[in-house]
Homo-oligomer: A and B are copies of this chain.
Amino acid sequence: MIPGYSIRRVEKQDYKGVCEALNALTTVGEVSKAQFDATVDHWNHSLVLPNLLQYHPYVILKDNQVAATGMLLIERKLIHGCGLVGHIEDIAVSPRHQGKQLGRALIDHLTSLGLAHCYKVILDCDESNVKFYEKCGYSKAGVEMQHR
């Protein structure tokens, strides 16, 4: 980890910091402390295999404050011999901590966690972020389509 920063799983005390960091990515909207706690409880209890959690939400901290956050979600499939796929989601670096390679550190951490269990790790991003993810070892695999 980058000097002065540390990384660990999201905890309930990270409520404000995680919501603030996520605001740099997209609309967070109304998330009460009770809803945050219920979501963290779900993430902490949901299993993808008898001995493997499904959700791996992380924060990078500096001086006890959330500087960045990101998620690895593990999906259980039939293809590839009942293989697992890791999905990296909701990567956000708080504006005060941008330009410090925290995104890179977070992606490296979640990717190696994912590849320890999954046959591949995937994520969706803007065309403008492709170069960044290529530096992290990723390559283009397809097109993300959405329906709202």
Contacts and interface: CB of A to CB of B under 8 A. Distances in A.
A1 interface: no
Contact of A90 (B55, B73, B78): B78
Secondary structure at the A interface, as helix, strand, loop or mixed, is mixed
Given A39-B76, A78-B39, A79-B90, A111 B145 contact: no
Interface in A69-85: 71, 73, 75-83
Interface stretch (A58-66, A95-103, A125-133): A125-133
Interface range on chain A: under 10, 10 to 19, 20 to 34, or 35 or more? 35 or more
A27 interface: yes
A14 to B, nearest CB: 11
19 contacts: A19-B78, A27-B79, A28-B78, A29-B79, A31-B81, A35-B82, A36-B78, A39-B82, A55-B76, A75-B87, A75-B89, A77-B89, A115-B147, A115-B148, A123-B144, A125-B145, A130-B145, A139-B146, A143-B144
